[in-house]
Structure formats: C-alpha cells, structure tokens
Chain A
Amino acid sequence: GAGVSQSPSNKVTEKGKDVELRCDPISGHTALYWYRQSLGQGLEFLIYFQGNSAPDKSGLPSDRFSAERTGGSVSTLTIQRTQQEDSAVYLCASSLARGRGGYTFGSGTRLTVV
C-alpha cells in the first residue's frame, strides 16, 4: 500500500479484556516496529521484526504483551488482560532493511482501557 495502515484507529476496552491491534506495513519493507506513545513518556520501543530473523522483544513491558508477523507482512500486537496503564497510542512503523531510510509511521491505534 501507499503507507503504513493501522487498525482500529480507536479502541475502548474494559479492564481485563484482551485486545488485538493490527499493522499493515509498506509493501517491500522488511523491518516492522511497534512503539507506544504515552503522555510524558515519549515513544517507547516495544518490539521489532526484521525479515525471517527472531524478533527483538526487549521492549515488551510484560508477558501480557505479544506480537507476531505473518508472512513477513501484516503484524498483530496482542495485549492480554488489559490494565488501565496500557492506555496509550500504539504506533507501528516500517522501514527498508536496517532502517537506513528512516521509518514510515502509521497513524496509530488509540487504546483506552476503562
């Protein structure tokens, strides 16, 4: 596609429910990244996929968070048993291999846990 597409754009969920956030990267971009944007916290790295390599999960805040990337394209970020502190904007970005060209970001999913 022309850009990085994320869905849904907004999600309100009850505490304790599971949510899935989707990211469709730019065609041909082999690297895909998830970040979390919170007020006063800037952008927090969550997870990174590069081609067929094992993902870098070093930024996932707890084992309630997981992500997968199927067929080297679409990625899903799953948050289990959501908590109020999970409320944030979740951003996906993609880039050519090794990020030389800089990232292209999606418009994000605003998650609100009530």
Chain B
Amino acid sequence: AQRVTQPEKLLSVFKGAPVELKCNYSYSGSPELFWYVQYSRQRLQLLLRHISRESIKGFTADLNKGETSFHLKKPFAQEEDSAMYYCALSEHNQGGKLIFGQGTELSVKP
C-alpha cells in the first residue's frame, strides 16, 4: 500500500545549523512528491514539489528513487522556519489524491 513515513515527530536545531527533515515513501508507480508547511496559526501551504526542482525559502528536496526518499534540507536554519512540515505523495492515477506523512515539527532555537 502507498505510504509516506516521516520518522521524526520533532526536530530541534539551533539557528544557523543545517536541517534535514526525513521522508520515505512506498509507492508502486511513478510518484509525485510534495512538501507542505504549516506555520503557527496559518493554513497548510505548499512549500515545494519534486517536479519543479526548485528552492523555496532556502529549502530543497531531491527525489531519490533508489532509497525511496524525499528529504527536505536547508543549509542554515532560521527561527522563522519553525513550523510543522508534511511530506506528501500524489496518487496520480487516483486523480491527484495526496497521501500525507504524519508530519515533523521543526523548532529552530535562537
């Protein structure tokens, strides 16, 4: 069955430190992967998608089909990066329904 796993519930780092939020998936087809972010008291919003190969707010994520991973990385964390991060997989052959991981709370300390 399709599944997205985020092994860390909470990740705490100091400002300026590198950060990596882990995401692993299981999917039999060709996946589309996304990262969504939810800042405090704000709605969930799209951060980036693997097909765009973009860097948003200094974050990047590379799809590794061999390791079935889509880890989110940023070289120098900022306090404003503190939020809840969700990795998601699109079941493209199911009309774009997204399967979400359980989320990782990132806390960046000053």
Contacts and interface: CB of A to CB of B under 8 A. Distances in A.
A42 B84 CA distance: 10
A50 B94 CA distance: 10
Interface residues on A, range: 20 to 34
A99 B97 CA distance: 7
Contact of B43 (A56, A100, A102, A108): A108
Contact of A45 (B34, B36, B97): B97
Interface residues on B, range: 20 to 34
B44 interface: yes
B96 A100 contact: yes
Contact of B95 (A56, A104, A105): A56
A50 B93 CA distance: 13
A33 B96 CA distance: 10
B46 interface: yes
Contacts of B96: 31, 50, 95, 97-100
A106 interface: yes
A107 B40 CA distance: 12
Given A42-B102, A48-B94, A99-B96, 12 more contacts: A31-B95, A35-B100, A41-B102, A43-B86, A43-B88, A56-B94, A102-B34, A102-B49, A103-B98, A105-B43, A105-B44, A106-B43
Interface of A: 31, 33, 35, 40-43, 45, 48, 50, 53, 56, 91, 93, 95, 97-100, 102-108
Interface of B: 34, 36, 43-46, 49, 86, 88, 90, 92, 94-103
The 5 closest A-B pairs by CB, nearest first: A99-B96, A42-B102, A43-B100, A102-B46, A105-B44
